[in-house]
Amino acid sequence: MSDETTVGVVFGFDDVLAPDSTTFLLEQHGEDPEQFWSETFRDRIADGYDPTTAYLSALLERVGPEEPLAELTIDELRATGAALDDHLYDGAGEVFADLQEIAAAYPPEISVECFVVSEGLAPILRGSSIADDCTAVYGSELATDDGGIVSEIKQPISFTDKTRCLFEINKGVGQEERAENPYAVNDNVERDQRAILFDDMVYVGDGITDVPCFSLVKERGGRVFGVYDEDDRSHKQSVVQEMGAQQRVKQFSEPRYTESSRLGSLLRLTVEG
């Protein structure tokens, strides 16, 4: 890494920092996640739905006075994220502060900014304490009706949309600017004016839904880390794998972020190096 480097550490969320957040939401409301992913989600994919649109539309069909998710609001989704804090993977709640502490030992040569990029529901992600440690959190957004009940898909983040998020991070396009001008990411920005170079980007994903991001970051000189636990696959991971999703990272680590774990130590050494 070059002098005066801003290291951008980008994490997925579902099955990376915590168990799948949509599955957790369904379980909180007494829904069967296996049926949701193996049947409802899979049937929509067979009908030609984009995977993110498939799961979001299926969730919205379960919202309503007589439906399993009841009259679901953004605040309730945030509360789900807060409840998910009790299920974060080992060390996930501490690794952000550790990376900042490592960078602080090298002022002004190194600084660290952390991000979450996920196809999961943004309000759930932002309800987690992890959001407090991030410069920005990107996730799928839902619109609400006049009563504050989630009612429509507003901004899906598919596995290819994630690459757009990476370019926004790279070019320094903040989320407020993005909301005002969704085309700002297309602006030409000279390399020496970019906020975080891809060379200085670290991407941590589950290897199934993050293939385009892995390819982009690797091809442009960054580092990628695949996270996967064969013995603790979520229903969603199992279904996506069965449908033929490929993994492009040869070596995977279990989602453990303590100093003594393989992934946790690699992340700390990468920032330090």
Q: What is the pLDDT of residues 38-87, one digit of tens each?
A: 999 999 999 999 999 999 999 999 999 999 999 999 999 999 999 999 99
pTM score? 0.93
- Give tens-digit pLDDT for 146-193: 999 999 999 999 989 999 999 999 999 999 999 999 999 999 999 999
* pLDDT for the residue numbered 10: 98
Average pLDDT of the chain is 92
**53: left (phi > 0), else alpha (psi -120 to 50), else beta?**
alpha
Beta bridge partners of 143: 152
CA distance 178 to 180: 5
Give SS3 for 152. strand
> 39 is written with which tokens?
């049947």
CA distance 76 to 153: 17
